[in-house]
Structure 1
Amino acid sequence: MTTRVLQGRMLSTAGWLDGELHLDDNGRIAAIDGRLAGAGEPARYLLPGFIDLHVHGGGGVDIMQGGGAVSHVGRTHARFGTTSLLATTMTAPRTELERVLAALGQHSAMRATGSARVLGVHLEGPYINPGKLGAQPDDAVAAVMAEIDYYRSLAPLKVLTLAPEIAGHHEVIRRLSADGIRVQIGHSLGSYEDGVAALQQGASGFTHLFNAMTGLHHRAPGMVGAALAHAEYAELIPDLLHVHPGAMHAALRAIPRLYCVTDSTAAAGMPDGEYQLGSHTVTKCMGGVRLADGTLAGSTLTMDQALRNLVQIGLPLAQASNRLSLYPADYLGVTDRGRLEAGAWADIVVMDPQLAVQQVFVEGECLELANA
């Protein structure tokens, strides 16, 4: 078996090492040969590939378009260091969700050349509170297990966002959690007590923390308070638009394994203009994506920029990297991604000292970034 060798400062599971990372012919890391990193600035960093658990689109394409949209989105985000992701749906009528999930089930079985690996689906809605839609279309319904089981037969469902205060949703949380699906609290008008109860029933995270949920007040802590007081995991959008850096620091201090997502739309990696987000038309302008009434509607964020933003607000690079790779992998129970160690998939982001992407490897494939 032949091996390829990458050299640089590596964020391994043993910490920062200077040395060589060996890739085998099967897309795995064969070995790591390094010494404890020195004090000087390296020529380049080797980081675990980013894992984005909330992706609606990119490169002008929306996941809800179905067909081959997911491959195009996967290639777009791979340019920015995302080596695996969850294709994320929007709230929509059942017939539309059936169509999209059937397409995602077909296209997630195999990884397209030059694309990030699609690990499965994040079903964001339709089981949300119609009074807290955010940028979701007005097609919210109460969850029914028979319907969810049908959706699961169409595509690998890994994460489901719901509002726990809706009648019947506690039983759904218990059932899905017992089956290993990560149930997240989001798009909710529920109270602090509703959030605590949902966590006790098996809910495991919070969708885009702070956004589209009841906020923190010292006499009514809300869903944000439940997350800050009790959550082990939650997702956060670090585009510096959705959440103020001060609130980010509060969450980083309170939630041990807070991880970051892009909540990216078709506008990610594209110029200013109009794009689709489910049934909505959204506008990219001044670094954000909004509905006509000004509501934030997903983001244009990419994971390499998320890393730079975290470092900019004061996180050490290793901690920032863990929140984009190790923690989301652990959240899904994936043990061979999100880390640099022998036997893991060779999902690697090579970055210069300014944290600009130089190379991306997905399962050992070195991507052609200029042509992505």
Structure 2
Amino acid sequence: MNAPVAASVGANGEPYGTLHGHILTPEGFVHGELRHAQGRIQAISGRPVSEREARASGEPLILPGFIDLHVHGGGGHDTMDAGDAALHIARAHARHGTTSLLATTMTAPAGEIEAAFRAIGPICAARQGGSARVLGVHLEGPYINPGKLGAQPDFAREASISEVRRLHALAPIRLITVAPELPGHLQLIGQMVAEGFRVQVGHTAGCYEDGVAALEAGAGGFTHLFNAMTGMHHREPGMVGAALAHGHYAEIIPDLLHVHPGALKVALRTIPRLYCVTDSTAAAGMPDGEYHLGRHKVFKCLGGVRLADGTLAGSALTMDQALRNFVSLGLDVAEASARTSTFAADYLGLAKRGRLVAGAMADLVMLDPALTLQRVVVEGESIELQDA
């Protein structure tokens, strides 16, 4: 790696790092230097430049580190494996530029979900070297519609606030996916939100009106938009229609398999803070072959991950590729960066992540003009990319 970076010592004797290149700030690109120490950005200095000038210069681009709110696995490991699986997953994704993520659980018997939470809790409490920060858990199941399982195992059940509280005591729950049309779920959405949980709609057979009602009850977004939800028809707009008409935030999987590029462009035009997730499985960052997703066997081939019957089952996407895919659709780098970092941070209320400003966490990626990853820094630590 030849990306320009230097380590030195500040006036107080603490080590700091200095990176040089075209730095994407909330006001646009700056050609200059970024200095960080003790895990935080200390200062950014330089002259403003256009994105066109930045990309034409041949010098590195420095962007906020990627934030992924829907991660089932990576590097051959699955969140539901418990043990130290979440740590291996966080390390695998860090090598692709993800600086923070949510470990995402599958629909499963209560004991299996609890075991996963028990394993994830300590990893959330203390970041280990070489890994992305695990911010908490996305509880994708089991409060979903059994008719819209997608690749989820068949253990869906009605939501329980007592179960949510119990799991939250083991590891912090940052997102909960709920099918709002199931009995009692609208009321529970309001109760979960009142207790500080962020709820979003997904794996749902609900109609347009169910989606609107869920938003009114406090739901904040939609889980992997278009997938595992009722589609849009001009006389039955479905859950997709509710998202496109009323959603402010929504996840989307831009691997160009889960969602057609044309549908991606529709969502980009209509949902102001549409953001990327990978929905990645153990197959992410691994060669073609057989892996597992919760209780399911899955198969990676031709860039995708599928069940034996051909159903898409999560993805092999990494966030650096997601950024490139967004740019291939016509987004400029600044907007692609916002949709792979800043909007996800804003959705979770993380003011010190997802942006390069003084005082923010020193979470960043450095890319060459072709958007190939050159360096990753997580909370000030430079991550080894040899296996990326």
| Shorter-chain TM-score tier | over 0.9
Query: Which amino acid in 2 is paired with 1:116?
Result: A
Query: Which amino acid in 1 is paired with 2:43?
Result: A
Aligned to 2:48: 36
Cα deviations by residue, 1:134-177 (Å, 9 ceiling, x for unpaired): 00000000011111111111110000001000001112111111
Aligned to 1:307: 323
Aligned to 1:8: 21
Instruction: Name the CA distance, whole Å, in 2 between partners of 1:311 and 1:174.
Output: 37
Offset at residue 371 of structure 1 (A):
5.5
Task: Give the stretch that moved more between structures: 34-43 or 169-178.
Answer: 34-43
Work out whether residues 95 and 387 of structure 2, in 8 Å CA contact, stay in contact via their aligned partners in 1. no
Structure 2 residue ranges without an equivalent (≥5)? 1-11
Q: Residue 86 in 1 paired to residue 86 in 2?
A: no
Aligned to 1:341: 357
Offset at residue 272 of structure 1 (A):
0.5
Query: Which amino acid in 1 is paired with 2:204?
Result: S
Aligned to 1:138: 154
Instruction: Name the CA distance, whole Å, in 1 between partners of 2:18 and 2:118.
Output: 39
Instruction: Name the CA distance, whole Å, in 2 between partners of 1:130 and 1:204.
Output: 22
Work out whether residues 136 and 173 of structure 2, in 8 Å CA contact, stay in contact via their aligned partners in 1. yes
Q: How does 1:48-197 map to 2 (within 5 A)?
A: 48-197=64-213
Query: Which amino acid in 1 is paired with 2:222?
Result: F
User: What TM-score, normalized to structure 1?
Assistant: 0.98
Q: Residue 211 in 1 paired to residue 227 in 2?
A: yes
1:54 match: secondary structure? strand
Query: Which amino acid in 2 is paired with 1:113?
Result: G
Instruction: Name the CA distance, whole Å, in 2 between partners of 1:285 and 1:225.
Output: 32
Offset at residue 179 of structure 1 (A):
2.5
Aligned to 2:5: none
Query: Which amino acid in 2 is paired with 1:11?
Result: L
Q: Quick one: which of 24, 27, 33 aligns to 2:39? A: 27
> Which aligned segments of 4 or more residues in structure 1 are displaced greater than 4 angstroms?
none
Instruction: Name the CA distance, whole Å, in 1 between partners of 2:186 and 2:321.
Output: 37
Instruction: Name the CA distance, whole Å, in 1 between partners of 2:169 and 2:111.
Output: 15
Offset at residue 307 of structure 1 (A):
0.3
2:298 match: secondary structure? strand
Instruction: Name the CA distance, whole Å, in 1 between partners of 2:241 and 2:21.
Output: 42
Work out whether residues 145 and 205 of structure 2, in 8 Å CA contact, stay in contact via their aligned partners in 1. yes
Instruction: Name the CA distance, whole Å, in 2 between partners of 1:334 and 1:328.
Output: 9
Instruction: Name the CA distance, whole Å, in 2 between partners of 1:272 and 1:16.
Output: 38
Instruction: Name the CA distance, whole Å, in 1 between partners of 2:250 and 2:366.
Output: 27
Instruction: Name the CA distance, whole Å, in 1 between partners of 2:166 and 2:136.
Output: 15
Identity of aligned residues (%): 64
Change (3 A) 1:371 1:239: closer
Q: CA RMSD in A?
A: 0.9
Aligned to 1:263: 279
Instruction: Name the CA distance, whole Å, in 2 between partners of 1:314 and 1:13.
Output: 20
Structure 1 residue ranges without an equivalent (≥5)? none
Query: Which amino acid in 2 is paired with 1:34?
Result: G
Tell me how many residue pairs correspond in the alignment. 371
2:273 match: secondary structure? coil
Aligned to 2:9: none
Q: Residue 279 in 1 paired to residue 291 in 2?
A: no
Instruction: Name the CA distance, whole Å, in 1 between partners of 2:205 and 2:17.
Output: 52
Cα deviations by residue, 1:89-137 (Å, 9 ceiling, x for unpaired): 0000001111111111122111010000000000001000000000000
Work out whether residues 68 and 98 of structure 2, in 8 Å CA contact, stay in contact via their aligned partners in 1. yes
Q: Residue 365 in 1 paired to residue 381 in 2?
A: yes
Offset at residue 3 of structure 1 (A):
2.9
